[in-house]
Amino acid sequence: MALPTAAPERQLKHRRSIDVQVFARGNGLWEVDARITDVKTRDAILANQVRRAGDPIHDMLLRIVVDEQCNILDAGSLSNSMPYVGRCDDHGDAYRQLIGLNLLKSFRRELMSRLGGARGCTHLTELAQVLPTAVVQAFAGEVLDTDGQDPDAQQPFQIDRCHALRADGAVVQEFYPRWYRRPDPSSPGRATQPAAIPPPVET
């Protein structure tokens, strides 16, 4: 894989940062803090006021509380910096509408239905879209079985959820042979039932 060549004369104008931190409460509940910040390298005029270079244009925090089934039990947002003070954050408790959703069951579709467009804040709603994969990463190996070594274990959560971990791929064949599926030549990208004996892994 290769990146486009970076131009030697390029100049940084804008930086967007997304930071997600997941905390265990110790009682089967987890807190997720997701923050988005936008910073420019030059002064900008916003709502007839100067926002100095390096001062955040956006600094917004979204917090949810989830259980180990990925159900959202509590949610809220806080806008510390915004272009239009007193307007960008006058959506009240809009993000409490996330309560009751499940991060693994049509979450992004339900998110957009409830908070897309003018129903919410563009930046907070966009930020919320990273929550499912961030929580899955936090749960991996603690809440979600990711090794599948237990003889009674179900298929590890991550199999068939990305290109590298497709059931008929080399990674699953090598590291999760129990769950390997031979490629189905009649249906590209789909696998057949488990092989009776997993093919040997070339080294």
How does pLDDT run along the chain (203 residues), one tens digit per residue? 799 999 999 999 999 999 999 999 989 999 999 999 999 999 999 888 899 999 999 999 999 999 999 999 999 999 998 888 888 877 778 999 999 999 999 999 999 999 999 999 999 999 999 999 999 999 988 888 777 666 667 777 788 878 888 988 888 888 788 878 888 877 665 555 544 333 333 33
What's the pTM value of the predicted model, to 2 decimals?
0.79
At residue 32, the pLDDT reads 98
- Of the candidates 118, 120, 79, 80, the residue with the CA atom closest to the CA atom of residue 96: 120
Alpha-carbon gap, residue 90 to 124, rounded angstroms:
13
Q: Say how far apart CA 63 and CA 124 lie, in whole Å.
A: 10
Q: What is the pLDDT of residue 192?
A: 53
- What is the rounded (10 degree) CA torsion for 48, 51, 52, 53? -120
Cβ 58 vs Cβ 82: under 8 Å: yes
Helix (H) or strand (E) holding 31: strand 29-40
pLDDT of residue 55: 94
